[in-house]
Chain A
């Protein structure tokens, strides 16, 4: 029974596969380059826009962009199922070792920066926090705003779901790799965090700089125990004085260098970097 069912399933799959091969051959005849891009959901909107603009300009290139997370992109690169991986963090030692094991040389190109901002309800009197205070809020040691100099109000901390790269980055960078407290509320999307923080008085949350909105208040952050507080903005992120910003990369196997060169060159060109600003990330220069 199961076998018959599988066999039935195979028919459309096989037709699809054969169709795919056919179109590939055709495109090779016209010397079309098709590039697959996979990885970080943070880089996804940027890569999509870059790909769209590039395809408008150069009709010989066709690019398909898929999300899934940085880890997914790097695994695909390792398995050779994607030409270009999008990454919102550097390679981990573990991953570097895996590439070494597979005898692949990986090249990474910095394409932009992304800054994370910590946000609170606009009526909250607190305007700045140190990293240690944020860590204590998210690990559940500080539960009331009066402990950090605010009014007597319970702190409601919002986070992303554990599948998000932003969740991992915030944990590593701001929480000193400690686990989130179990009473942290987790939201399925960044937009939902903005919405919830804007309507909850005691709320605190973290979002990408690209998602900033007037309905929430951004906090200045100190990474030196309260000596200097830096407000998040494109300028402070660019000159690296704002501490919670991370690099965004394109990574590829050196064997594929020629193939992916067009999109990489376009992204780091002046025109490509303009798109970076439009999307809300921080350009390289």
Chain B
């Protein structure tokens, strides 16, 4: 009876453990599916708000415009249809909100009853018109011509260099500057944090005596507990002006400021994990090395570091993970200009900062919303690739050792 109960108990615990394992994996899978489901939806859409049309005069020979051309038209950088292969006609911009400039309230009618008629009238009368309005005001007998806008293509999304998701009438969705910004900042952070973190870990595990370690370790771990917005504020007030003065720059909000802040934020992870790994080096190995006449330093870099290499890399990955995904601190110090950076001393806009700053206002289910999820997918793929690469490297090392 008793053994039976014990068996049942063991089975129960086993089942519970398996369940939590499955639930965790399932959650991860579900999140990934959700992310990609939302994100990939953007490539099924046109970069124009749903239910809106762009129309021109019937006599205009222009058939197709690219999103960039439409933006230039509305920014008044292109002012004549001649530049787009049409007649020599000045471009007249029209939006529904402008209707009151051209027609009196009486003509529009009470409750906008005559609005569709007015829009049609305006498009017919103006040869150079380009009008942007909702399909619901489409007149019954529309005598203008529609301009077709292509769906967003994967290649354009990835290689586009302009990020104006709220631009009217056509959004510009080019994520290249954001990807570059994220990679630059994270790369800078790791270059800055890895040597310092490694040095601190070696000091703590091999050189420092117990008393110093007992003071230093909790202090370093405390770094991980500071909220990221505090780091951001610290960066904005202290590090940004410092960078501006040191490098004599016109602006201090740069990728470098982001790298330094992220580096500091990644330090506790890197230090704690690599220190733990180093302290796990078997005493016998260290003593054997010392007994063979190796100095303390030789023991550290010939025995301790190689032994704990996988732990150090794990710390570095988790550090990079924190750096790539960190949002608030970066949002505050990098300036967030969506331009492709050429050095670390330029303002950059990272993917997480973009998602955080814009998701709140993006209408749920719209193009902008889905584009932000697509950015999330890109971020996910970047971290996945880093993880796979590190896995590959550590596996190789293990095989060589045995």
A residues contacting B by CB (< 8 A) are 1-2, 68-69, 71, 92-94, 96-97, 100-101, 139, 153-154, 156, 161-163, 176-179, 182-188, 192, 195-196, 199-203
Contact = CB atoms under 8 A, between A and B. Distances in A.
A204 to B, nearest CB: 11
Nearest to B166: A162
B321 interface: no
Contacts, number: 98
17 contacts: A92-B97, A93-B99, A94-B97, A94-B134, A97-B137, A161-B336, A163-B358, A176-B76, A177-B74, A178-B74, A178-B75, A179-B167, A183-B339, A183-B347, A196-B240, A196-B253, A199-B240
Contacts of A68: 360
B307 interface: no
Most buried by A among B100, B251, B357, B360: B251
Given A69-B361, A186-B337, A196-B236, A179 B332 contact: no
9 nearest CB pairs, A to B: A163-B361, A185-B335, A154-B250, A156-B251, A161-B357, A186-B336, A178-B75, A162-B166, A199-B241
Contacts of B60: none
Interface residues of B, number: 46
Interface in B236-259: 236-237, 240-241, 244, 250-253
B187 interface: no
Interface of B: 23, 26, 30, 71, 74-76, 96-97, 99-100, 111-112, 115, 134, 136-137, 162-167, 177, 236-237, 240-241, 244, 250-253, 331-332, 335-339, 347, 349, 357-358, 360-361
A200 B76 contact: no
B162 A153 contact: no
A178 B167 CA distance: 9
A162 B71 contact: no
A162 B331 contact: no
A199 B163 CA distance: 27
A185 B253 contact: yes
B96 A200 contact: no
Nearest to B174: A182
Contacts of A183: 337, 339, 347
Contact of B250 (A100, A156, A195): A156
A188 B347 contact: no
Nearest to A160: B357
A195 B335 CA distance: 12
A136 to B, nearest CB: 12
A161 to B, nearest CB: 4
Contacts of A178: 74-76
Contacts of B136: 97, 101
Contact of A162 (B76, B112, B134, B358): B358
Nearest to B328: A188
Contacts of B75: 139, 178-179
A185 B347 contact: yes
A182 B162 contact: yes
B142 to A, nearest CB: 18
Contact of A182 (B244, B250, B337, B360): B337
Contact of B26 (A1, A101, A156): A1
B364 to A, nearest CB: 11
B244 A200 contact: yes
A132 to B, nearest CB: 13
A99 to B, nearest CB: 10
A161 B96 contact: no
